[in-house]
Protein backbone atom coordinates (compact mmCIF):
# COMPACT_ATOMS: atom_id res chain seq x y z
CA UNK A 1 0.00 0.00 0.00
CA UNK A 2 2.79 2.41 0.89
CA UNK A 3 4.63 1.61 -2.35
CA UNK A 4 1.50 2.34 -4.35
CA UNK A 5 1.06 5.70 -2.59
CA UNK A 6 4.69 6.62 -3.25
CA UNK A 7 4.39 5.65 -6.91
CA UNK A 8 1.22 7.72 -7.22
CA UNK A 9 2.92 10.70 -5.60
CA UNK A 10 5.92 10.41 -7.93
CA UNK A 11 3.62 10.16 -10.95
CA UNK A 12 1.68 13.25 -9.91
CA UNK A 13 4.85 15.25 -9.28
CA UNK A 14 6.31 14.15 -12.61
CA UNK A 15 3.15 15.28 -14.39
CA UNK A 16 3.27 18.73 -12.80
CA UNK A 17 6.96 19.32 -13.50
CA UNK A 18 6.30 20.31 -17.11
CA UNK A 19 3.83 23.04 -16.23
CA UNK A 20 4.85 26.66 -16.51
CA UNK A 21 4.89 28.63 -13.28
CA UNK A 22 2.03 31.02 -12.53
CA UNK A 23 2.58 34.49 -13.97
CA UNK A 24 0.50 37.17 -12.31
CA UNK A 25 -0.89 39.86 -14.61
CA UNK A 26 0.88 43.20 -14.68
CA UNK A 27 -0.39 45.65 -12.09
CA UNK A 28 -0.50 49.45 -12.35
CA UNK A 29 1.15 49.45 -8.92
CA UNK A 30 4.30 47.90 -10.41
CA UNK A 31 5.26 51.39 -11.62
CA UNK A 32 4.77 52.89 -8.16
CA UNK A 33 2.27 53.13 -5.33
CA UNK A 34 1.61 56.84 -5.88
CA UNK A 35 0.46 56.63 -9.49
CA UNK A 36 -3.13 57.49 -10.32
CA UNK A 37 -3.76 54.07 -11.89
CA UNK A 38 -2.49 52.33 -8.75
CA UNK A 39 -4.75 54.40 -6.52
CA UNK A 40 -7.75 53.48 -8.71
CA UNK A 41 -6.82 49.80 -8.49
CA UNK A 42 -6.48 50.02 -4.70
CA UNK A 43 -9.90 51.71 -4.51
CA UNK A 44 -11.54 48.97 -6.59
CA UNK A 45 -9.86 46.18 -4.57
CA UNK A 46 -10.58 47.63 -1.12
CA UNK A 47 -12.77 44.69 -0.06
CA UNK A 48 -10.56 41.94 -1.53
CA UNK A 49 -8.68 40.11 1.23
Which residues lie below 8 Å from residue 7, measured CB to CB, with a gap of 6+?
Answer: none
Q: How confident is the model at residue 11 (pLDDT cuts 50, 70, 90)?
A: confident
Q: How many angstroms separate the Cα of 27 from the Cα of each of 11, 13, 43, 44, 45?
A: 36, 31, 14, 13, 12
pTM strictly above 0.85: no
- Alpha-carbon span 10 to 26, nearest angstrom: 34
For residue 9, the model assigns a pLDDT of 84
- Alpha-carbon span 13 to 8, nearest angstrom: 9
Query: What value does the mean pLDDT of the chain take?
Result: 85
Amino acid sequence: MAKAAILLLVAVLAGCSGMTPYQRPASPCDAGESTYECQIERYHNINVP
